Structure 1
Amino acid sequence: MKNGRKQHSGRNTGLRPAHAAFVLGLLLSFLAAACASNKVAESLSEAFKQYETIVRWSQWDAAADFIAPEYLVDNPITRLDMDRLRLFRVTAYTIRSTGIYDEGMTSRQTVEIKMFNKNKGVERTIIDDQEWRYNEESQRWLLHSGLPDPTQRY
């Protein structure tokens, strides 16, 4: 130690070029993965906003466009379902909880929806449990739980 400073042994402690390239490649792959997952998360937020707006305006045909085609095969939307929804005007849409699962590829959201029956003049509250899955092929989030059910009792 000279003048209270530790002397350097002169040994090179830096990374070798091959190691530096490996570390750089690793960092770039992490950055690319983070950007991709951020893009998926942003698209989920956008899908939630779009769907909420459509439901708030009681645009049920447009809301049905968010439903995954494979879900519709087993759970088709009937004319009765759509006619029943058209009896209602949404007066409130409140998100109660949101969770992300399956490494960011599935989301579940619970929403409280207040619906005013235009024929009866009565408001009712329902809970809509939504399951969203990211479709990598179409690069969009699709609903795998159907439209809100106004016959539900809360």
Structure 2
Amino acid sequence: MKKFIVAVIICSLLVACGGRMTKKKSLDHSLYQYAKVMRWADYNTALTFFSPNIDKEHKPTVLEIERLKQFNVSSYVAAPIMPGASENEIIQDVQIKLYNLHTKRERVVVDRQVWEYDSDAKTWWLTSGLPQLVTDR
């Protein structure tokens, strides 16, 4: 009888953790795929990671996308993820080295990415937009 109770408890715990593992796998997959797309400087594909409900402040314009296309990515180093404002939000800082094809210079940008989990679609959406190239000098 004790073995049966232990088995039921273990099964219950596994079922309860199943949703979290799916969410974690989805996050890992989204972060990996987005990093791969950014490393290849495929900015149009990067737009597919954006939330359909992204606000106007973070939605890139055609001009911003064209400006990014003058850069190749020479390095993409992601820091460990940090919890966001809710359990369905994470923040990740990424150091991106961009090589300008015209000036032959490299610049370093730190991109603070905010990702939100959509429980209906069971996917993570990027809500912070593309890396910002404008810095105060």
Unaligned stretches of 5+ in structure 1?
1-13
Query: Matched residue pairs, number?
Result: 135
TM-aligned CA deviation for residue 100 of structure 1: 3.2
Match of 2:134 in 1: 151
TM-aligned CA deviation for residue 27 of structure 1: 5.3
TM-aligned CA deviation for residue 80 of structure 1: 0.9
1:126–1:153 contact (8 Å) kept in structure 2: no
The letter for the 2-side match of 1:117 is N
Superposition TM-score, scaled by structure 1 size: 0.77
The one of 126, 138, 152 equivalent to 2:121 is: 138
Distance in 2 separating the partners of 1:31 and 1:149: 41
> Greater CA deviation, 73-82 or 107-116?
73-82
1:56 is aligned to 2:39: yes
1:110–1:127 contact (8 Å) kept in structure 2: yes
The one of 90, 97, 102 equivalent to 2:73 is: 90
Compared with structure 1, are the counterparts of its residues 56 and 133 closer, same or farther at alpha carbon in structure 2 (3 Å cutoff)? same
Distance in 2 separating the partners of 1:143 and 1:128: 12
TM-aligned CA deviation for residue 97 of structure 1: 3.1
Match of 2:83 in 1: 100
2:95 match: secondary structure: strand
Superposition TM-score, scaled by structure 2 size: 0.86
Instruction: Please identify the structure whose Cα radius of gyration is greater.
Output: 1
TM-aligned CA deviation for residue 32 of structure 1: 1.5
Identity across the alignment (%)? 28
Structure number with the bigger relative contact order (C-alpha 8 A, sep ≥ 6) is 2
Unaligned stretches of 5+ in structure 2?
none
Deviation sequence 1:40-79 (CA, Å, 0-9, x none): 1011011110000000000000001101111145533211
1:95–1:109 contact (8 Å) kept in structure 2: yes
The letter for the 2-side match of 1:48 is L
Deviation sequence 1:102-147 (CA, Å, 0-9, x none): 33x2111000000001011110000000011111111111001001
